[in-house]
Amino acid sequence: MLLEIFDITLLKNIVSIFLVGFIIKIMDDIIDENHPEHLYKAALPYVILIFIISTIIEYKTTTGLFMASYIVGMYSDINDTLLTGLKGYQEAVIVAILGVIFLGRATFIFCLTVIIAVQLIDDVFDIELDKRLGHQNLAIKYGKVEIFILSLIFCILSLMLDPIKGLIVLCAVPIINILFNKLKGEILNCE
């Protein structure tokens, strides 16, 4: 019985983390890249549908990871005035407060640390690409080794806070990246 419950919980976590990973990746791609407008319109219903499915499966981790990625992604626009009329950092603070209220301090802090770890690793691997495209990147600003060590610290911290979910997220990231790039390549080739 205990094993069954554990397996179902584990499976739920794996599926929901993979789905929300795709959502975050799509959101990131839509913001960073300049795809044709009709592709955004076509992607939006799928994005909402996948997000709803992932929240039905496991709402705490899913919403926590999404909110955390929203806060971390805000880094580049921290002082810009956004669509809501608020500054980037003000929105980040509001989302963080909502996250702590609705999801609990422990879950939200775990989500934030694991997303920071993933973002830092991403910055280290994307350093050459971002340099070529002229994008701002923490690894370019503070150094490759420094950011890599910082990402290791956040990886360990997230594994200490929630070892199972932390491991799932850290393993899911490269798989999602590969699958997403493959899928994106096929969609753009069809265009």
Partner 1 sequence: MRIGWYLIGVLFIFLCGYGLGRRIGKKEGYSEGTAYAPIQLKQSYFENGECPVCCFKIDNDINDNV
Shortest distance (Å) from residue 112 CB to partner 1: 16
Closer of 77 and 146 to partner 1 (Cβ) = 146
Binding of residue 144 to partner 1 (CB under 8 A): no
Q: How many residues does the chain have?
A: 191
DSSP 3-state helix, strand, coil percentages of the chain (rounded to 5)?
85, 0, 10
- 172: its two tokens: 């899911």
Conformational region of residue 85, where left means phi above 0, alpha means psi within -120 to 50, and beta covers everything else: left
Distance CA 62, CA 113 (A): 14
Question: Which position has the token pair 């806070």?
Answer: 161
Binding of residue 159 to partner 1 (CB under 8 A): yes
Binding of residue 133 to partner 1 (CB under 8 A): no
Q: What residues have CB less than 8 Å from 86, skipping those under 6 apart? A: 94
Shortest distance (Å) from residue 56 CB to partner 1: 33
Binding of residue 157 to partner 1 (CB under 8 A): yes
Q: Which of 44, 133, 153, 164 binds partner 1 (CB under 8 A)?
A: 153
Q: Which of 49, 82, 149, 188 binds partner 1 (CB under 8 A)?
A: 149
Binding of residue 156 to partner 1 (CB under 8 A): yes
Residues that bind partner 1 (CB under 8 A): 142-143, 145-146, 149-150, 152-153, 156-157, 159-160
